[in-house]
Amino acid sequence: MGAGPYFAPANENRLLQLADFIAHATYLLYERHNAALARDIVPRFDERDGVLHGLVHLSEARGSGCPCPACVSRRVPGQLGPWL
């Protein structure tokens, strides 16, 4: 049986709103190729030596031909690709 809705206390609300915003921006980027919200937040994801580690693409298409920021940063460190 599934869990019901989660009603957060007021002191937890702001971080939940931030998490929802990041999830929505990431969804729009990957599913709709709309970078309007993600453009400012993707460069703030965890990275080391120009490779994004805080954003990972789990798909059969990932790798050499994928133009998403996560895959591009692994091929060309410091670059985020054409989506942004």
Which tokens go with 73?
């940063």
Which long-range CB contacts under 8 A does 63-72 form with residues at least 24 apart? 68/29, 68/30, 69/29, 69/42
Which H or E run contains 74?
helix 69-75
Q: What is the mean pLDDT of the chain?
A: 86
Q: pLDDT tens digits for 12-46?
A: 677 778 888 999 999 999 999 999 999 999 999 99
| C-alpha–C-alpha distance, residues 11 and 55, integer Å | 27
User: Is pTM beyond 0.75 here?
Assistant: yes
Which tokens go with 13?
């609300």
| C-alpha–C-alpha distance, residues 14 and 20, integer Å | 10
